Structure 1
Amino acid sequence: MTKRIIAYALTCAFALAGHAVMAQGTSVAFGGLKHDSKLPVEITADQLSVDQSTGKAVFVGNVLIGQGSMRLTAGKVDVIYGAGGGGNISQLEATQGVTLTNGGEAVEARTARYDLGSGAVVLTGSVLLTQGPNAISGDTMTIDLKTGVGTIDGRVKTILQPGTSE
């Protein structure tokens, strides 16, 4: 097994053992999901509607959001701006099939809420994290992009693929 697979397997084993005892969630390091939430955000979509009275913009159809090396795709994304105007994005709420990627890691879920101020992403609904050939699933995943640490809650299941030695 490669060193990465061994470290990952041990992390998952300890995390899953802790989950079985505490039933509060599985914490796993997500190095590829460590990210600077202060980088500019680029959004492309088939359609955009803006409501000045609520301070909300809605992107619909093939939505692709890029921030540094991180990418988020969804069918619909609501952009919520912070107080005081100035066009500062406070939160992104993605629905209709969400995929979040950064490096060799990807997370799929039904919905995602990204708070740019805190750098937290909360994904809900049939969450599936893949890291190379390995996968972890659960009901909800919270990622702290500043540290790259995430927690998966709900019925957590993992699949580890044995590797070859280097």
Structure 2
Amino acid sequence: MHWSNNVAKLTCGTAFIAVASLGLAPLAKAQLAQGTQSKAPIEITSDQLTVDQDKQIATFTGNVDGVQGDATLKADVMRVYYVQQSANGQGTQDKTNNGAATSGSASGNQNIRRIEADGNVIISQPDQNATGDHGVYEVPEAKVTLIGNVVITNKGNVVRGGRAVMDMNTNISTVYPAETGKTPTRTQRVRAVFQNDSANGASSNKQGSQ
């Protein structure tokens, strides 16, 4: 099934609403963070949406923007992999990876297992931004992996690397160098620049006393 943004606007306004009209609204409930925000739905909008019900993949293309609470995920393309729940509450087989069936409520909805984002991937939160070429969110494990030209910024501090793994359960992020198959060179190693607030404050006080 395939929709363009124009068709979606005629019916519901966004590609996300077109998903809801198919009974796939639970696709928009992936948990991207802990606590209260993790229970909030994620709304995905895009220029185009294609749903492959046989492979159980929803592909959002063009200016893709996912929002959940105060967190946003942007990319050129976003693929949502889900497991269809049958009406009796038994999960059907994961056709994209030959996975085992999963159990769930008897509502005939979907369980999201994985979200992939490609092209100009940006993850934004109030105190942190992370960018990369490719992003993967493993929903059951609550882990986000960014790959390729990774840059993480937080209150002026900047960390660069080839790959970053962010654990939503522990709030621990690990950054790795680019994988080249060889010992990383100086330019390929993880690099971090941390702002020294105390030094900046001392400099400001010195200038103010002059």
Task: Place the TM-score, normalised by the shorter chain, in its bin.
Answer: 0.7 to 0.9
2:163 is aligned with 1:140: yes
CA distance in structure 2 between the partners assigned to 1:65 and 1:73 by the alignment = 6
Q: Which amino acid aligns with 1:158?
A: A
Name the counterpart of 1:8: none
1:34–1:144 contact (8 Å) kept in structure 2: no
CA distance in structure 2 between the partners assigned to 1:159 and 1:150 by the alignment = 16
Name the counterpart of 1:160: 194
Q: How does 1:9-24 map to 2 (within 5 A)?
A: none
1:135–1:160 contact (8 Å) kept in structure 2: yes
Q: Which amino acid aligns with 1:48?
A: L
- Give me the identity figure in percent: 33
- Largest Rg, 1 or 2: 2
Q: What stretches of structure 1 move > 4 A for 4+ residues in a row?
A: none
Q: Mind listing any 5+ residue stretches in structure 1 that lack a counterpart? A: 1-32
For residues 136-165 of structure 1, what are the alpha-carbon distances to aligned partners after superposition, in whole Å with 9 as ceiling and x for unaligned?
000100001122111001120011223234
- 112-121 or 71-80: which moved more? 112-121
Q: Which amino acid aligns with 1:79?
A: V
Q: Mind listing any 5+ residue stretches in structure 2 that lack a counterpart? A: 1-31, 85-90, 93-108, 178-188, 203-210
Name the counterpart of 1:122: 145
2:43 is aligned with 1:42: yes
For residues 102-142 of structure 1, what are the alpha-carbon distances to aligned partners after superposition, in whole Å with 9 as ceiling and x for unaligned?
11200000000011221100100010000021100001000
Name the counterpart of 1:66: 67
CA distance in structure 1 between the partners assigned to 2:50 and 2:66 by the alignment = 16
1:64–1:71 contact (8 Å) kept in structure 2: yes
Structure that is richer in strand per residue: 1
2:54 is aligned with 1:53: yes
Tell me how many residue pairs correspond in the alignment: 134
The partner residue of 2:135 within 112, 115, 123 is 112
- TM-align CA RMSD: 1.9
User: TM-score scaled to structure 2, two decimals?
Assistant: 0.59
Distance 1:68 1:146, change over 3 A: farther
